[in-house]
Structure 1
């Protein structure tokens, strides 16, 4: 039986301090990778479990909306040993329908979810090209495939990535770089607090498996796409959503 072994690989997880990013960082480290988490938080996230695994994870503060800082920090990480895997999970999500979405809210979503993540991807891909290959995994959302009432800017920012992942895959595949994305459904992270308990229950009842995802379930898909098992997978937007998209409009 094949297992995922990332021993000797170096990974970055942008947005790795909380939620899906944090779970992904730990999954990569459990598979043997040396992981650097990057987020606006100055302090490293607390990782429980094996001390050996936690010791493979380090942390650096980075605001992905500051493009010059992204380029500098990723280059420093590259110079320190290279980047083989880039998991891009940083995002902002703020509720606002189209008519109430002001310019500042729209710009915050584009600065982080689009421009910031693109800068991270581009910087990582340039380094991976020099190294002869690598894996880029973007954390998208089912909200990039269907609308989510009251989240105009967020849905727009995630929808852009569905096609950009395909384009990046076409550009990068000949250089041995896999670019794919995971599209989480409703997941029990800190962002779930945007919804009240009744809304959470209503959403869970509408998902075919009748519950929200755990961050670990999303991280398992990230780990697959970051591993040699996905060497022939390019340009895929993989829903991990309990059947949410298969169910049709809710």
Structure 2
């Protein structure tokens, strides 16, 4: 029958690749989206803005009604709003933190509730190489993604004895809609900094996520798993 999986922000980019990877393994997959749903009809689309607690609860209820209690949570929903620090207004900072970090808290808290009842669960938080490497104009984004480390490790200590793991995946530069506005000059300058000599693919991030959610990774928790071609090495 597979497992019940919920992927936030699973209608495109890395989130969609993750959702498809679980589906292809026979899992029952629901994805949250704020606007348009995923292109795949066999992925359950659930409208949800993770900054709205009531919508988070509604999304879980819908996913559970269709697929059963959520056994695997992938917190991927996120935004960027790049502004240099001296020009960054407080709303730039708080908006990104509320979506990326507080939104992760909201969905993780709700998922743990059912996982504790069943005595099994997998939580995977999608962070970024920016969390450890930093990037100009991303004080807000880097802070939100770095916060996931402490969150996952605290969760791992709280629920690890109950068969629940919590891990963090840190993708490097993976061309998706969220970074489509970056200039070709920026992209060309970035490639030489990547030991692998290329950008990543969403499917490569998905492979790490599905492994961490598998039985084979049952003794891995509180880990930071980079999928960045070596971009963040040494940080």
Q: Is the 8 A contact 1:23 1:219 kept in 2?
A: yes
Structure 2 CA distance for aligned equivalents of residues 232 and 219 of structure 1: 19
Structure 1 gap segments, 5+ residues each = 1-6, 48-53
- Scaled by the length of structure 2, the TM-score of the pair is 0.95
Q: Is the 8 A contact 1:172 1:178 kept in 2?
A: yes
1:145 match: secondary structure:
helix
Structure 2 CA distance for aligned equivalents of residues 116 and 69 of structure 1: 11
Q: Which residue of 1 aligns with 2:132?
A: 145
Per-residue deviation at 1:152? 1.0
Is the aligned partner of 1:108 residue 2:111? Answer: no
The C-alpha deviation readout for 1:159-207, integer Å capped at 9, x for no partner, is 1111211111111111110100100001111123231001101111210
Q: Is the 8 A contact 1:64 1:112 kept in 2?
A: yes
Structure 2 CA distance for aligned equivalents of residues 44 and 68 of structure 1: 19
The aligned runs of 1:48-197 (5 Å cut-off) are 55=42, 57-80=43-66, 81-197=68-184
> After the TM superposition, which of the residue ranges 221-230 and 74-83 deviates more from structure 2?
74-83
- 1:213 counterpart (200, 206, 215): 200
Aligned-residue CA RMSD (Å): 1.4
Q: Is the 8 A contact 2:46 2:62 kept in 1?
A: no
4+ runs of 1 displaced by more than 3 Å? none
Distance 1:191 1:72, change over 3 A: closer
Distance 1:76 1:60, change over 3 A: closer
Q: Is the 8 A contact 1:165 1:237 kept in 2?
A: no
Structure 1 CA distance for aligned equivalents of residues 34 and 167 of structure 2: 24
Per-residue deviation at 1:79? 4.6
Q: Which residue of 2 aligns with 1:239?
A: 226
Q: Which residue of 2 aligns with 1:14?
A: 8
1:138 match: secondary structure:
strand
Per-residue deviation at 1:76? 3.9
Q: Is the 8 A contact 1:78 1:127 kept in 2?
A: no
The C-alpha deviation readout for 1:51-75, integer Å capped at 9, x for no partner, is xxx63x2111110010122123213
Structure 2 CA distance for aligned equivalents of residues 206 and 122 of structure 1: 37
Q: How many residues align?
A: 234
1:194 match: secondary structure:
coil
